[in-house]
Amino acid sequence: MSERNQIEKVVERVVSKVLESHVPRLRDELVQRVLQELQPQLAASSGAPGASFNDLLTAISGVHAGTTQREILRALLEGATRYCGRAALFVVKAGAATGWQARGFADSDSIKDFSLDVTSGLGAQALRDRTRASGNASKMDARFIERFGKPAADQAHVLPLMLKDKVAALVYADGGVDAEGQADPTALEVLVVATSAWLEVVSLRKQSQREGTAESAEKMEAPTPVAAQSAPSVMDPFAAHAPKHALHSEAPAAAPVARAHVPEETPVEDTPVTEAAMSAAAGASSGAAGDALSNMPADEAEVHRKAQRFAKLLVDEIKLYNQAKVTEGRKKKDLYDRLKEDIEKSRSTFQKRYGNTVAASGNYFQNEVVRSLAEDDLSIMGANFRR
């Protein structure tokens, strides 16, 4: 058993190093693939498609130059101003949306002290459908329009920023209050989607770094049995964000949580959140697995935990590069047919590493595919998926 564990540690170290070395390539490939897929829409939405494409490439490159989540989100807002007169980002927590930062407003700092109503109108639509919501300014929160002014073009757009299949923030954009101001919702949507994907790449990189550090620590001290925990795979860029005021009554009530306000200058990107905070299903699954592993010998439990993490990493990668297929497959309930090649390649990778270990009985890769890709609804995978 000790020899097998030693081999696994060597493999994990190599995987972590390979992931780290490939991040720059992933970044460049991500930019190119997103723009290639959406170039027809960009051409249709702009009279000068070449200029629009180059500007968007520059904006996305600015996002991908960020090394922390705070830098990435600031670059998102800066890039958005290329395609709109005003842009603001609202943090979504417990069904409420509160201001984070803004660009182009007469008093952008006021966004930080504003609670956006997401119980109706464009905000509710974007939060519910998890897609861009566009319409007349009258469909926006009336308090927002009254406080910050109606856009001259009378058009507003709200775009969801997704993290781990959850709406982590809403991006508001319009043409501004100047008569000539316009907004390009297609380009804005591409920018937000690219930002979401890059945030997940960064989180995967941080996860591999954490696992590498944990491995080094294991070499310096003897392992001791611990209750199994699921390592958080997504860092919440808004974990320490809190509004300056109590939420308005229009916002859905949430359980009271004592939280001190964090000043603007305080970095928050390194504050992790539990998997349960990002996905209730993932938290429940991890908790059940933890109960089972706590009754195993320490060395066997460690193999099971590593297999769980590896399965999650493989499935996260599938989702990262196939977001459009995942969305469409969930709607049509033929997700396996759309992702068969990716799923089976990753399954083979998992089997080569853990198929002959004590973790094989856990069926972790298959369970992660159903949990993460199909949101625990087996029917979404389709008739050709073998359980």
Between 303 and 225, whose confidence is greater? 303
Instruction: Answer yes or no: is 227 within a domain.
Output: no
Res 223: pLDDT: 44
Sheet of 115-116, strands arranged across: 115-116, 96-103, 86-93, 166-174, 155-163, 133-136
What percent of the chain stands above pLDDT 90? 39
With cut-offs at 50, 70 and 90, classify the pLDDT of residue 316. Answer: confident
Res 255: pLDDT: 39
Do residues 383 and 245 share a domain?
no
With cut-offs at 50, 70 and 90, classify the pLDDT of residue 212. Answer: low
> How far are the Cα atoms of 84, 317, 368, 378 from residue 339, in angstroms, in the given order?
35, 12, 14, 15
Q: Which two tokens stand for residue 72?
A: 């990435």
Do residues 172 and 298 share a domain?
no
Instruction: Answer yes or no: is 9 within a domain.
Output: yes
The backbone torsions φ and ψ at residue 141, rounded to the nearest 5 degrees and listed phi first, read -55, 120
Res 56: pLDDT: 84
Do residues 104 and 149 share a domain?
yes
Instruction: Answer yes or no: is 226 within a domain.
Output: no
Q: What is the extent of the structural domain holding 376?
A: 279-387
With vertex at residue 323, the alpha carbon angle to CA 159 and CA 20, rounded to the nearest 5 degrees, is 105
Instruction: Answer yes or no: is 225 within a domain.
Output: no
Instruction: Answer yes or no: is 50 within a domain.
Output: yes
Res 140: pLDDT: 95
Tens of pLDDT, residue by residue over 151-186, are 999 999 999 999 877 899 999 999 999 888 889 999
Do residues 341 and 254 share a domain?
no
Dihedral Cα 191, 196, 201, 203, nearest 10 deg: 140
In this model, does residue 331 exceed pLDDT 70? Answer: yes
In this model, does residue 229 exceed pLDDT 60? Answer: no
Instruction: Answer yes or no: is 163 within a domain.
Output: yes
Q: What is the mean pLDDT of residues 324-331?
A: 91
In this model, does residue 266 exceed pLDDT 50? Answer: no
Do residues 7 and 95 share a domain?
yes
Q: Give the C-alpha separation, 157 to 170, whole Å.
A: 10
For the chain, how many residues are written?
A: 387
When computed from its CA atoms, the radius of gyration of the chain, rounded to whole angstroms, is: 22
In this model, does residue 23 exceed pLDDT 70? Answer: no
With cut-offs at 50, 70 and 90, classify the pLDDT of residue 262. Answer: very low
The backbone torsions φ and ψ at residue 87, rounded to the nearest 5 degrees and listed phi first, read -145, 140
Instruction: Answer yes or no: is 108 within a domain.
Output: yes
Question: Count of domains in the chain?
Answer: 2
Do residues 267 and 341 share a domain?
no
Res 179: pLDDT: 82
Res 11: pLDDT: 64
Mean pLDDT of the chain: 76
In this model, does residue 65 exceed pLDDT 70? Answer: yes
Tens of pLDDT, residue by residue over 272-292, are 322 323 333 334 444 455 556
Instruction: Answer yes or no: is 165 within a domain.
Output: yes
With cut-offs at 50, 70 and 90, classify the pLDDT of residue 245. Answer: very low
- Which pTM value belongs to this model? 0.53
Res 264: pLDDT: 37
Assign residue 76 the CATH number of its domain. 3.30.450.40
Do residues 163 and 293 share a domain?
no
Between 302 and 53, whose confidence is greater? 302
